[in-house]
Each structure stands twice: as structure tokens, then as C-alpha cells.
Amino acid sequence: MKIQEFIEILKSKSKFPFEVQQHSEKRVYIRIARENLKDIAIVIFKEMNAKFSIASGVHIREGFEVLYHFTFDKDKFICTVRTLAPHDDPKLDSLVSIIPGATWIEREIYDILGVQFLGHPNLKRLVKAEFLGEKEFPFRKDFNIKKFKEDHGLAPKISFIQPVEQTVKKSK
């Protein structure tokens, strides 16, 4: 199956709009509204038998973009599903009920970006340092690393060594 055929099948099986960006013969991005994330995951993962590789998240101007990466190994292409959780409501439906392998990565994205995955069976902090507050997420653009280091005694201690006074002997 080529990417064009994949897109046509996806259109026929989906009852919701999505945006397609094909970057090459081996890479396609599908942008979807967050309300339709579970539906498209069912089509791609369950019905079209894609393999789930990983998910990633990034803080962008519009909010928090979460990307789910799927591979079609036999057909040699990658499909990335992109969705957005806005700043004022950073929540997405969890895909764990559809893709059990998404358990840890959704926890990690929650831990570092603060995106809550609704319906996740065990959404608690995974790798976060104990001294981070519940509302502190280190991969958010508004996270002040300098203040964080100062507040937790992690700022480098700079001490200056006084220069040694040197005397220069004049030669005769």
C-alpha cells in the first residue's frame, strides 16, 4: 500500500475531517481535532494494523501538540497523527484502551509537559524530580529553569579566587 492508498482508505473509514501533509513517499502527517483522536487511532491501529512506535509532545505557541507515530513496516512508511491540547485545557483522551503500549509514554508526556490523558489507568508522575511542584512541568516554555535551580539550591556556586599579587623584578 502506498501513502495515497492509505489516505483514501483512511478517508473512507473516517467520519470526521482531518488534514494530510505528505512530506515524502515514506512519511505522512495526519492532523486531527482532539475529539477524534481515539477514533483515528482505532482505524489506524486496529483496522489498518499499523504498529505503534512512540508518541512525543511539544509545547508550541497554540498549546501542546502530541504526536503519535505509527509504522507500516510492510509498506515502508510512517504515519504521524498530530493533535493539539490548548494551553487553557491541556487534556486529551488516552489511547491506552486501544494501544496498551502507550501507557508509559503518555505518563512521560504528562510528567514533562502536563498534558492530562483522560481515561489513563495510572496517570501519575513517572520521572519527575520529587522537588518539582505539582504544577511544574520542565518541558513547558514557561518553566523558569534559572528560578527552579535557585529555589532548590541547584544554582552553581561561583566563588572567585583573588589574584595573586605578583611582583615583577626589573632587570638591570
* CATH number of the domain enclosing 34: 3.30.460.80
Per-residue pLDDT of the chain (172 residues; tens, 9 = 90+): 899 999 999 999 998 999 999 989 999 999 999 999 999 999 999 999 999 999 999 999 999 999 999 999 999 999 999 999 999 999 999 999 999 999 999 999 999 999 999 999 999 888 766 667 778 888 899 888 887 777 777 766 655 566 666 666 666 6
86, part of any domain: yes
163, part of any domain: no
Question: Could you give the CA distance from residue 105 to residue 120 in angstroms, rounded to a whole number?
Answer: 11
pLDDT on residue 98:
98
160, part of any domain: no
164, part of any domain: no
pLDDT on residue 167:
66
- The structural domain count of the chain equals 1
146, part of any domain: yes
126, part of any domain: yes
Please, are residues 9 and 49 in contact by the beta-carbon 8 Å criterion? no
Please, are residues 80 and 68 in contact by the beta-carbon 8 Å criterion? yes
Show the domain range for 125: 3-151
172, part of any domain: no
pLDDT on residue 16:
92
pLDDT on residue 37:
98
